Amino acid sequence: MTDKQSVVIIGGGPAGLTAAWELIKDGGADKYDVTVLEGTREFGGISRTVKHNGNRMDIGGHRFFSKDDRIMDWWKDVLPLQGAPSYDDKKLGREHDMEPGGPDPEVEDKVMLKRHRVSRIYWNRHFFDYPISLSPNTLKAMGVKLTLVAGFSYLKSMIHKLPETNLENFYINRFGRKLYSMFFEGYTEKLWGRHPSQISADWGSQRVKGLSILGVLKNAFQKLLPKKRSNAEVETSLIEEFWYPKYGPGQLWETVEHNCEAAGVKVVTDATVVEVRQVAGHISSVITEDSEGNRKEIHADQFISSMPVKDLVDAIDAGEQAVQGKPAPADMVHIAEGLPYRDFVTVGLLVKHLRLKNTTDIPTLGNPPIVPDCWIYVQDPGYKVGRLQIFNNWSPYLVKDVDNTVWIGLEYFCEEGDSFWNMSDEEATKFAISELTRMRVISGPADVLDSHRERVKKAYPAYFDTYEHMDELIEYLDGFGNLYCVGRNGQHRYNNMDHSMATAIEAVSNIKSGKTSKKNVWSVNTDKSYHEQK
């Protein structure tokens, strides 16, 4: 009998559960003793699905799309692609390529749907393309004068490039100062609570990648050509089809967790890591605490952490009994404690119908038919809400009565403990209803049938304050050898779900091969443009 290597994974979100499955699949239980520690009683992190009175809410909205074939195949292995039309596509005659022999979503639950992506900007009570483009619709909504000003401003930005020392200059270089001031400046401040001039350009290079007006126009032109492009050739922000689990992203992660346990992974919920102990420069064990204050020490050979870096560093030899190790150095603690986050509140409103009219040529459910958008970006600074989700359009199975009601999520960016965060459910719901009414999305409070409010801590790692010293923190954490930081919060990086998963796959690869450099784990999603080749 061979000795198994023990691995403790902190966090049951996409990164943590991906790591667990990568270790345990294909007979991995013979080589690895894997334990997942999850602080809550749910799986998926911010990729979970919240259930409320028969309706389901996707926290943050998650398109299942990646340039990385490993990830697409991974998802497809967990939930197979649909082989027959979904309820709304069947009823409306909308077409997708079906997977031969794939499950019928009208009959089976474990199925991945193919969905059309429609996202638009709502500004000054007009809809604009998202990302912003110089389409006939945009020109009509902006008017001739504003269009000319924006056009000349863009031309100037092509000739006179600003140094990309901050996010403001990053956007101006790609869209011109006028469009930046209209569509990016206020929205960015709404999202981050800071002016774009105070935010690192790294955020733009990770999230917007190679996107620019030229990219948008190129994409629009290529749509007119008969040649079918692969997703690998399209900027991430421009994709038009994505996959989506029948019951939202939480369904996928709940399935992964179930598969992990069935294959031999030990999963412990209500287990918050409060101490990380070290011996001779290696992590030796972690101390967990449940909601009743009970503590437990768990030893392991390897540790994979997706907990927030701030909390991880704070937990290193934090206990009075940790005599063998030593707390993190003061300068590392200073960097970690200064890493900022934006927190997030989403208010779900179930309404009878929308006041917004579907003026597109895309057929939708509802009487009258609803707008086809998955997301509506509210880049108008006159409203606190940042984004609207229309859950009916993500999957018809998220909504209990998809033909006669509309289930909307209003996303608000805030700080934990601020006045908006501290509102009661009733106050937050009343505020959301008033904004939707003022925006003319609904007619008024009488349209609202039900509501639900969710608060999410540390949803968005932010790129300011001590973030500029992140490299020093990485060097310190990598020095432990048997500690791998993965995922959005584990790396303090605004990763998409596929990137978070890729960090976990790289970490597991290192554990299996004995590779000591963690450069591959940290370099996921650091390329300045998103042009992986398929």
Q: What is the pLDDT of residues 217-258, one digit of tens each?
A: 555 555 445 544 444 444 444 457 899 999 999 999 999 999
pLDDT at 529 over 50: no
156 CB neighbour count, 10 Å cutoff: 13
Identify the pLDDT of residue 415. Answer: 94
Q: What is the DSSP string of 288-323?
A: EE-TT--EEEEE-SEEEE-S-HHHHHHHBT-STT--
Give the residue from 123, 83, 132, 130 showing the smallest Cα distance to 106: 83
For residue 118, how many other CB atoms are within 10 A of its CB?
19
Residue 381 vs residue 461, higher pLDDT: 461
β-pair type (55-58, 49-52): antiparallel
DSSP state of 98: P
Q: How do residues 461-488 score in pLDDT, each as one tens digit? A: 998 899 999 999 999 999 999 999 999 9
Instruction: State residue 54 phi and psi, 5-degree precision.
Output: 85, -5
Per-residue pLDDT reduced to its tens digit, 265-317: 999 999 999 999 999 889 999 999 999 999 999 999 999 999 999 999 999 98
User: What is the predicted pLDDT for the residue at 533?
Assistant: 31
327 with 316: CB under 8 angstroms?
yes
Q: At what angle do helices 249-262 and 69-78 cross, to 10 degrees?
A: 80
| pLDDT confidence bin for 23, thresholds 50/70/90 | very high
Q: Where are the beta strands (DSSP E) in 15-118?
A: 32-37, 49-52, 55-58, 112-116
Predicted confidence band at 514 (pLDDT cuts at 50, 70, 90)?
very high
What pLDDT was estimated at residue 134?
63
C-alpha to C-alpha distance for 251 and 126, rounded to whole angstroms = 35
242, 113 Cβ separation under 8 angstroms = no
Q: Using one digit for the tens of pLDDT, what is the confidence trace for 54-69?
A: 999 998 889 999 989 9
Beta-strand runs (E) in 170-252: 241-245
Residue 140: predicted pLDDT: 81
Cβ-Cβ contacts under 8 Å for 487 (sequence gap 6 or more):
11, 13, 14, 15, 16, 45, 306, 495, 500, 503, 504
Please name which of 114, 117, 53 lies closest in space to residue 82, comparing C-alpha atoms.
114
Chain mean position to CA 338: 22
The predicted-structure confidence for 146-187, as pLDDT tens digits, reads as follows 888 988 998 899 899 999 999 999 999 988 999 899 888 988
What count of Cα atoms within 13 Å lies in the side-chain half-sphere of residue 317?
Answer: 17
Interatomic CA distance for residues 276 and 364, integer angstroms: 52
Question: What is the torsional sign of CA 236, 238, 241, 246?
Answer: positive
At 139, the pLDDT band (50, 70, 90 cuts) reads confident
CA angle, 468 then 469 then 471, to 5°: 110
Check: CB of residue 460 under 8 Å from CB of residue 345.
Answer: no
Is 363 strand, coil or helix? coil
| Interatomic CA distance for residues 257 and 399, integer angstroms | 24
Cα separation, 389 vs 391, in Å, equals 6
Per DSSP, the three-state class of 486 is coil
Residues 363, 364, 366, 370, Cα dihedral to 10°: -110
* Residue 370: pLDDT band with limits 50, 70, 90: very high
Lowest mean pLDDT among 44-53, 137-146, 379-388, 492-501: 137-146
- pLDDT mean over 344-355: 96
User: Would the pLDDT of 327 be above 90?
Assistant: no
The residue to which tokens 């719901």 are assigned: 429
- Residue of 408, 422, 396, 416 lying closest to 451 (CA atoms): 408
| Residue 236, pLDDT score | 43
Q: What's the distance, CA 275 to chain centroid?
A: 28
Q: So what's the pLDDT on residue 300?
A: 98
pLDDT in tens, 35-48: 999 999 999 988 99
Nearest to 309 by CA among 482, 489, 478, 504: 489
Q: Closest Cα partner for 249 from 485, 432, 42?
A: 42
Taking the CA of residue 506 as centre, how many other CA atoms within 13 Å lie in the half-sphere pointing to its CB?
A: 22
Are 306 and 16 a contacting pair, CB within 8 Å?
Answer: yes
Q: Is the pLDDT of residue 532 over 60?
A: no
Name the band, by pLDDT with cuts 50, 70 and 90, for residue 531.
very low
**What does the DSSP assignment read for 129-142?**
ESS----HHHHHHH
Q: Which of 231, 200, 235, 197 is nearest to 214 (CA)?
A: 235
pLDDT of the residue at 95:
86
Average pLDDT over all residues of the chain: 89
Q: What angle do CA 147, 152, 158 make, to 5 degrees?
A: 125
- The token duo for 445 is 């409070």
Phi-psi category of 252—alpha, beta or left, where left has phi over 0 and alpha has psi -120 to 50? alpha
Q: Within its chain, how far is the Cα of 160 from the centroid?
A: 34
**Cα separation of 234 and 24, whole Å?**
34
The share of the chain scoring above pLDDT 70, in percent, equals 90
pLDDT at 206: 61
Q: Which of 299, 297, 325, 283 is nearest to 477 (CA)?
A: 283
pLDDT band at 143 (very low <50, low <70, confident <90, very high): confident
Confidence (pLDDT) at 213: 56
- What the chain holds in terms of domains, given with CATH numbers, is 5-41+269-340+465-531 (3.50.50.60), 48-64+90-129+237-245+341-461 (3.90.660.10), 131-223 (1.10.3110)
pLDDT for residue 324 is more than 60: no
- What's the whole-model pTM score? 0.90
From CA 80, how far away is CA 53, in angstroms rounded? 27
Residues contacting residue 383 through CB under 8 Å, at least 6 positions apart: 435, 438, 439
